[in-house]
Structure 1
Amino acid sequence: MAVSMKNVDVAFQGVGQKPGIDIWRIENFKPVPLLKEFHGKFYSGDSYIVLKTTALKTGGFHYDIHFWLGKDTSQDEAGTAAIKTVELDAALGGRAVQYRETQEHETELFLSYFKPCIVPMEGGIASGFKKVEVGKVEPRLFIVKGRRTVRVTQVPFARSSLNHDDVFVLDTESTIFQFNGENSSIQERGKALEVVQYIKDTDHDGKCEIVIIDDGTLGTEADTGQFWVLFGGFAPLSKKPVVADDASGLPKPKLLCIIERSLKEVEMSKDVLDSSKCYVLDCGNEIYTWAGRNTSLDARKAAISIVEDLITNLNRPKHIQITRIIEGFETLEFRSYFVKWPLNGQHTVSEEGRGKVAALLKQQGVNTKGILKGSPVKEELPPLPSLNGKLEVWRLVGGVKKEIDAGDVGRFYDHSCYIVLYTYQGEERKEEYLLCNWIGRHTSVEDKASGLRVMNEMSAALKGRAVQAYIAQGKEPIQFLALFKCMCILKEHVCPGHKDHSILLVRARCVGPQIVLAVQLEPVSASLNSSDCFLLQTNSKLYAWTGNLSTVENQKAVLRAAEVLKPGVVARPVKEGLEPPLFWSSLGSKRKYASHPKPKEGPKDPRLFACSLSRENLKVTEVHNFTQDDLLSDDIMILDCHNVIYEWVGQHASTEEKELNLDIAKKYIERAARLDGILQDVPIFMITEGNEPMFFTTFFSWDSSKVNVHGDSYTKRVAGIQGRPVPQEKVQRRLTPSASAGTKSESTQRAAAMAALSSQLTSEGKLSKVAQTLVNQNPSSAPASPRFHRPSTANSQRAAAMAALSFMLGTKKAPGSAVSVDADWVAGSSPFAKVEATGDTESVTSSKTSEDGGDGGEEIAEFYSYDRLKSSSTNPPKINIKRKEAYLSPEDFEKLFGMSRTQFYEMPKWKQDQRKRNLLLF
Structure 2
Amino acid sequence: MYNIQRLLHIKGKKPVTATEVDLTWDSFNKGDVFLLDLGKVLIQWNGPEANLSEKSRGLALARNIRDGERGGRAQIGVVDEEQMSSAELLQIMETVLGPRAGALRDAVSEERADEFQKANLRLYHLYEKDEDLVVQEIATRPLTQDLLQHEDCHILDQGGFKIYVWRGRGSSKEEKKAAFSRAVGFIQAKGYPATTNVEVVNDGFESAMFKQLFQQWTEKDQTEGPAKVEPVKFDVTNLQGQPELAAEQRMVDDGSGKVEVWRIEDLHKKPVDPKKYGQFYGGDCYLVLYTYQKSGRAQYIIYIWQGRYASVDEVTASALNALELDHMYQEEAVQVRVTMGKEPRHFLAIFRGRLVVFQVREEWPLGAPSALSSVRTGVFWEDHGEVESPSRSGSLSLDVLRLLAAPSKGHLALPVPREAQRPSQGTSGSEE
Q: Does TM-score exceed 0.5, indicating one fold?
A: no
Instruction: Compare CA radii of gyration and give the structure with the larger one.
Output: 1
Q: Which has the higher contact order (CA 8 A, sep 6+)?
A: 2
Higher strand share: 2
Higher helix share: 1
Smaller-chain TM-score bracket: 0.3 to 0.5
